[in-house]
Structure formats: structure tokens, C-alpha cells
Amino acid sequence: MIDLVERAQRGDADAFGLLAGGVTDRLYATAYLVLRDRALAEDAVQEGLVRAWTELPRLRERDRFEAWIRRIVLRQALDEARRARSRPRLTVLEHDGPAVDGHHDAIGVRDWLDSALARLTPEHRAVLVLRHYLGLSVPEIAGALDLRLGTAKSRLHHATQAMRAALDADARADARRHLA
Amino acid sequence: MTGNDRFNIDELLAQRFGADAPAEAPSWILPAVQDRINRTQQRGGRMPTIVGGLLAAAAVVVLAVATAVFVPPLLNRGVGVDPSPSAPAASAAPSSSADPSTAPSAEAPVSPEASPSAPAMDPDAVILEVTSVCDVTPPVIMPAIVVTGDGRVVWRAMAEDGLGTEYRVRTLSADGLAELHDRLTGSGLFEASGRYEVESLPDVEPPGMGGCLQTFVYRADADADPVVVESGAWYGDELEEQYFVPSPERRTLNELLTALGDPEAMLGEDAWVDERATFAPDRYLVVAVPTVPELVTEGAPDVDELTWPFDQGPDAFGEEITSGAGAGRCGIADADRVRTLADELAAAGLDQFAGDLMGVGATLPWASQGTALDVAIWPVIIEGAPACDDVQ
């Protein structure tokens, strides 16, 4: 791979295409999970890859290509999220909460989780995705999001707390519905 | 019973992300990217476009590179020393002045005679300027904090909405400024210029944390040469122990940088003579660099449709510069004129121009020239910071 990176750094677009082909699916999945919007994720990946191409000659640690390009796409994704956040949203997420009769209804839990995730900020979702989808360590999350280590730890903690709060809120609402 | 009692959130998230993640990217993305990069010039090892430098997280830049491009401009700025007789009269005000504002009390703003530890200093002279940059050096490196001879402190803080940063300004009393001097000199690291680099332990592979360079430029008094102290980031006990050679100096400087990020907490409420305010720049630095049309920001209006903030047009304003993005022009414009341009761009849908103009940019089409124009705007914090000479 390092050879491909070196070729791409010298302007070999085909080499870059091969490199990009090896990581695009993971980048897209990551961007989608952070943004929860396929169109925004597509934009983030496309713009991120083009930007990576223009900046590739400045990559020093060639063996870290994937981590490097992931940072670019994540930054692009969060920029997309900020732009989208400034526009009015019409989507209303409906959910019925989890099943409460003692067994985990798969669809109920899924909707419950999705609803809770939708309430998080993209920045909070990003740390959760990096941690629980990509399995990155906290230092790696810090590197991927340009955060200090302490900030990454703090953000992961707060994201998890926010998730708990959202889930608790859903559980309370669900309990109220069943009591009514 | 709550959801947290019933479910392991970590496990559920891992399962949900795994199930929800698309297995493949849409098939059109790669061909579209390939088509675009075939028509897009690489930066050839130079800085990316102005906009790219602002918006993209990117490659790890070794500390030496960042140092090479950044420190010389700082030193060349002369840190505000102006021995000319045109220096503001306040710096030469007689100590017998009846003006109570010059009295040497804790409530007084700084005057040259207010404290024996503060010899005659140009009020606009920079006592302390701290920058911190990680990975890619942006085209213009903005300070984390600047302290001037009259006790003015301008520092960057998280914006109230949690998105982005803003600059705040407040004025130290003479005692507050003396306390700041004491905190700096008390570290023992500002007696002479120095450089403390991150050094990996042998036979370990550090995680991809990137490189950070913290630069402190400090002058103890008007006669002193500026001391420039550079440091790589301190990555914390755990990482330092595992991957890096521990450095008490880097740790101290990192803690100092963190403390300076909130100077009000660092120096206490009694250290100030006025209330904190959001810093409102009265001038902006504007950089415009022609670039390839393929990089035009979606929805951006044509350059010729906009109200340019200089008397001369985009091809003639200010001065010529050669940045990493190529040859272009740079100038300093009054805030109201820049705001007019920003409002027009925001009205066209470029939301980054709607708020404060903290290093925002876009690539605009420029049909009459058959090209595009990278336009970036930065607030001027103090005279010369930033200046066109600083554009990388």
C-alpha cells in the first residue's frame, strides 16, 4: 500500500483510485452512521476523497493512509452536518419505544436506539461510531477527530451519558403510555 | 426499570451500528471521484487551497516543518517594539498624572509606572503570544491568546453554542499582569528560547496522534528580546509512559497552554479592570488566490457579482503574496466592508459567512477570468497579527 501512496503522491490518479477503492466502503459507512443521511454521507465521502487527493503530497506517514483519509472524511462529514443543521428540518422521527413485556423485540429496540441516536449531535455520534463501529481506542478517536486526548475521553463519556439520557427518556415515555 | 438497566448500551450500539452500516458505498462515487481528480491538480507538497486549509483535517506535519514555516514570521514581527517617537503618548505619560486611572492599584489598568515589574512598554507591544497548531498548518495561524503591554488580553474560547470558537477580550490590572508574568517566569522555561520535541520511545509504534506544535513568544519587559519556546503536545501520563519519552517541560508547557485557554480562571476575578467582552475586530485580513474551477464551492456566486471590500478589484487589491496555494493577493479591509461581502455570500447560501468570520472561506467562480478564486477571511486581532506576511 505504501508504494501506491507514493505513486499517488507523485500524481498517479490510478494509484489513488486503487487506494480509494480499498477504503471507500468503510468511509461511507462511517460517514453514514455519523450523519444518518445517505445524501450527506455521499457528499462527505466524495468531497473528502477529492480533498485527500489534493493534499496527498503532504502526507508524511504513508503507512497511516487510511487513518489520515478517515480524518479528512470525518471532518468533511461534520462540516456537512453543521451546514445541514443550519437548515430547517422537516423529518419527524416516529417510534414506539421498546417492547416492555419482558423480551427484547428486535424492531422495537432498533427504533428505540435510532431515535436516541438521532437526538445526539453529530459530534457525539462520531465518537460513538468510532468507538463501537470501528473499534478505535480513545487515542485513535482523538487522532481521528483532531481532539486532545482528554477531550476525546470527555466527549465519549458525554456521548454515552447523552445516549443513556435519551434512552431513559424513551423508557419513561413508554412507561407513561402503558400506564395510561 | 430503565432501558439502561435492561440493556448494555455499548453492546447494543456495536450491534446497531454493525447492522445499520451500509455494506457498500454507492457505485457512482468512485468513478465520480476519479473523474474529478483527473481534472484536479494536486498541491505538489505545498499548502492546499485556502479553503482546503481551513476545512480539511489532513496529514501529519512533522514539528520541524511547522516550526520552519511559522516561527520566522513571529520573530520578524518584532513583537510590537516601536522605538519611534510616534508611539502612543500613553506609554510616556508622567507618573504624576492626576488621572486616577493610572494609579497603581489593583483596579488600575496597566501603565508603564504602575508596577516595577512592568517597565515602559508600548501599550500595543505584545508581551505574550501563544499559538497551537496540530497537523496541517493552516494558511494563517491565529493566536490562542495575545497579551499586550496595556494589559489587554485577547483569547480564543469555545463559542457559546459549542460550535467553533470566538475571541474574547478583557483588560488586566497592573497586579493581574504582574501575576501573569510571575506565572510564566515561575515555570523556569522562559529565561531563554527553547524547543521541546516529542520523542518516541525505542521499539514502539505510537498511535496516529499527529503532531502538535505549541509556540510561546514572551517578552518580560520592553528591553528584553522575545523568548520563543516551542513544544510538542503532552499526550498524557498513559500515552507518554507507553509511547513517548516523558518530558516535564512539555508537560508544564501543555498545562500552561491549557490554563491560558481560560485566563479568567487562571488569574482570578480580581485580576481584571473591566468586564469580558466578545472581541469585535475592526479589520479583517482577506486572502484571494486564483485556483482551478473544479474546486468551486457549490452554489457560490461569481466574483464579479459581489461587492469587493477594497477600492481595487480582486485582481489588484492589497499586495501580492505567494502562498502554498499559489500566487494571489492579500489585504486588510475595514470590518463593515468585509461584512457586506460576507452577507452577500451568506445570502447565496454559503452559511459559513453568516456568523463571525473566524477564518472562513470559499472557492468562488470567476467567469470573466476563466478561473475560480479562493477567498478566505481572518480577523485581525492586533496590529500585525495576522498580517499578509504571515500567510503561508
Rg for chain B, CA atoms, rounded: 24
DSSP H or E stretch at residue B35: helix B29-38
Q: Assess contact for B338 and B309: CB atoms under 8 A.
A: yes
A178 Cβ under 8 Å from any chain B Cβ: no
Cell of A90: 422537516
Out of B14, B25, B37, the one facing A50 most closely (by C-beta) is: B37
Q: Do B17 and A132 touch (CB under 8 A)?
A: yes
Task: For residues A158 and B313, give the distance between their C-alpha atoms in angstroms, rounded to a whole number.
Answer: 48
Mean pLDDT, rounded, for A92-100: 34
B346 Cβ under 8 Å from any chain A Cβ: no
pLDDT of residue A173: 59
List pLDDT tens digits, range A121-153: 888 899 999 999 999 988 888 888 877 777 888
Out of A21, A64, A76, the one facing B30 most closely (by C-beta) is: A21
In this predicted complex, what is the ipTM? 0.82
SS3 (DSSP) at A30 = helix
B38 Cβ under 8 Å from any chain A Cβ: yes
* Model confidence pTM above 0.90: no
Task: For residues B173 and B104, give the distance between their C-alpha atoms in angstroms, rounded to a whole number.
Answer: 9
Ranges of H-type helices in A36-92: 38-55, 65-85
Pairs of residues, one from chain A and one from chain B, whose beta carbons lie less than 8 Å apart: 200
Q: Do A27 and B136 touch (CB under 8 A)?
A: no
A66 Cβ under 8 Å from any chain B Cβ: no
Is it the case that residue B30 has pLDDT exceeding 70? Answer: yes
A132 Cβ under 8 Å from any chain B Cβ: yes
Q: Distance of alpha carbon B317 from its chain centroid, rounded?
A: 24
Is it the case that residue B196 has pLDDT exceeding 80? Answer: yes
List pLDDT tens digits, range B276-323: 999 999 999 999 988 877 778 878 999 999 999 999 999 999 999 887
B112 Cβ under 8 Å from any chain A Cβ: no
pLDDT of residue A174: 56
DSSP for A109-154, written as a single string: HHHHHHHHHHHS-HHHHHHHHHHHTS---HHHHHHHHT--HHHHHH
